[in-house]
Structure 1
Amino acid sequence: MNRVRQLWQEGKPVVAGWLQLPGALHAEALARCDYDAIVVDLQHSPIDFGMAVSMMSAIELGGAEPFVRVAANDGSEIGKLLDNGAYGIISPMINDAGDAQHLGRAVSYPPRGDRSFGPRRPNLRFGANYHAQASETLVTLAMIETEAAISNLDAILSVEGIDGVFVGPTDLALSLGCSPRVDSTEGPVVEAIQHIRRKSAEASKRCGIFCGSAAFARQKIEEGFAFVTVAPDLAMLTEAARNIISRTR
């Protein structure tokens, strides 16, 4: 079973990493640091498809579930990533039920969806009958990061094939006229994030959020968020470098 789904069934939150830097070695190394899942970011990074495939294999080898934040809600891209080892998809800018339906159909085989058959890596892990259990194996999260998405949240949460939503805090803040900061404390952003979590719970769907610090991630877990990503690799690298330099000088 997908480790993320197993943790959810046990009533436990998921702590995930976030990769913006290309490279399989550090992807595997971080996967061995007790993350439950690691997200490869294809929207705001220089990681291309070929590198993403190598990184997903390395993440799986390291013991975490390979997730991908896709560049766009594109069925062809999503299908190729699923066929080559993504066991979780996070899709950006889901603004209405139509966007969510497109995502739900992209991750599902007919008759439920439009996914074309060709699972290369999943067959190695789950066997030749993978297609029959694919919908129960994958995790699909729709990013809520605009005022329009909040207005259409009930409809988005009702879409079949979507396991839940994932808050993109910086774009959400911009949409609300606030500063694009992770771990924001601005009133409209805080209120919107709590509204998204409450609505997700009412719909019996999971709610995730991008966090910039362990303290903020812990707070969100305590509030009931089921999936938190903590500090991308580039941020951790630069923070560690600053600490080393400051102690050296």
Structure 2
Amino acid sequence: MSLKARLEADETLCTAWSGVPDALTVEIVARQGFDAVTLDMQHGGHNEDSVLRSIVPIQAVNKPALVRIPVGRFDMASRALDFGAEAVIAPMVNSVADARAFAAAMKYPPLGERSWGPTYALPRHGKGTQADWLKESNQRTLAFAMVETRAALAALDGILETPGIDGIFVGPSDFSIAWSNGAKVDSTLEDMMETIASIAERTRKAGKHAAIYVIDPAISGRVVKMGYRLLAMGSEQALIGLGTKTLLASVKESIG
């Protein structure tokens, strides 16, 4: 079942967050219990080549691949889809103009301006003809616009109304910096939680999907109650750190 179909069924999904630009590492992450894997090109080390190669091991275990592109690199949104990504996350979408440019790169005409060329994506998808691909792609792929600034919050209704935008992805760390006027970075800042909840409510009311990055797992239940259904988490550093801590704690407890 596709990422879109599962979200439309109101499932709560967890995507791992990969920043190590190595297909072998991504293969290991993809085989863990996550529902999907996101390849991060903004703050992570992924690049065009690593995205092209890393989507293969994700698809090999029948999971959707998502890609977060660098700020303003809407051309990379089209390339990520051509490589086989099911969804693209665009950071710092701070205006309706940003949303329109992102949507244009994500969707084929007449909805957008995406250029034809699924050289890798179509055979990796493994089914259907070129005609099927053209007919289905605009509906099957998802464009998530990140809301992480006060400007984005002010433009939220316009972003949600933009044809081709399928969901909102909240970046709580950047949002906390904006919310506190640069005083702190705190993904669980209590002062902003009412607003974080309102973003999910407005997104779902518009018929779009609500996603958020979860740094503290303890807050997962709270954001799901707000309406978020795609939760991103678990960078390689976090996974290795937690696994090492758990392993060594068990060893030391056994030794006494």
TM over 0.5: yes
Structure 1 counterpart of 2:75? 76
Structure 1 counterpart of 2:185? 180
**Cα displacement (A) at 1:38:** 0.9
* TM-score of the two chains, using structure 2 as the length reference: 0.89
Aligned pairs, number: 246
Structure 1 counterpart of 2:171? 168
Structure 1 counterpart of 2:37? 38
State whether residues 109 and 116 of structure 1, in contact with CA within 8 Å, keep that contact through their aligned partners in structure 2: yes
Structure 1 counterpart of 2:232? 229
State whether residues 201 and 226 of structure 2, in contact with CA within 8 Å, keep that contact through their aligned partners in structure 1: no
User: Is the aligned partner of 1:196 residue 2:189?
Assistant: no
Structure 2 counterpart of 1:113? 112
State whether residues 91 and 141 of structure 1, in contact with CA within 8 Å, keep that contact through their aligned partners in structure 2: yes
**Superposed CA RMSD:** 1.7
**Cα displacement (A) at 1:191:** 2.1
Structure 1 counterpart of 2:100? 101
Partner deviation per Cα, 1:165-191 (whole Å, 9 max, x = no partner) = 000011111111252133x1331x212
Q: Segments of 4+ in structure 1 off by > 6 A?
A: none
State whether residues 144 and 167 of structure 1, in contact with CA within 8 Å, keep that contact through their aligned partners in structure 2: yes
| Identical columns (%) | 26
State whether residues 32 and 63 of structure 1, in contact with CA within 8 Å, keep that contact through their aligned partners in structure 2: no
**Cα displacement (A) at 1:197:** 1.0
State the alpha-carbon separation in 1 of the partners of residues 63 and 222 from structure 2.
23
State the alpha-carbon separation in 2 of the partners of residues 244 and 216 from structure 1.
24
State the alpha-carbon separation in 2 of the partners of residues 46 and 31 from structure 1.
17
Amino acid at match of 2:224: I
- Structure 2 stretches of 5 or more lacking a match? none
State the alpha-carbon separation in 1 of the partners of residues 79 and 234 from structure 2.
27
Structure 2 counterpart of 1:156? 159
**Cα displacement (A) at 1:18:** 0.7
- Structure 1 stretches of 5 or more lacking a match? none
Question: SS at 1:225's partner residue?
Answer: coil
State the alpha-carbon separation in 2 of the partners of residues 219 and 121 from structure 1.
39
User: Is the aligned partner of 1:212 residue 2:212?
Assistant: no
State the alpha-carbon separation in 2 of the partners of residues 48 and 8 from structure 1.
27
* TM-score of the two chains, using structure 1 as the length reference: 0.92
Partner deviation per Cα, 1:225-245 (whole Å, 9 max, x = no partner) = 121112222112122223444
State whether residues 142 and 165 of structure 1, in contact with CA within 8 Å, keep that contact through their aligned partners in structure 2: yes
State the alpha-carbon separation in 2 of the partners of residues 47 and 104 from structure 1.
22
Structure 2 counterpart of 1:139? 142
Partner deviation per Cα, 1:91-142 (whole Å, 9 max, x = no partner) = 0001111111111111011222111111112211143221221111101100
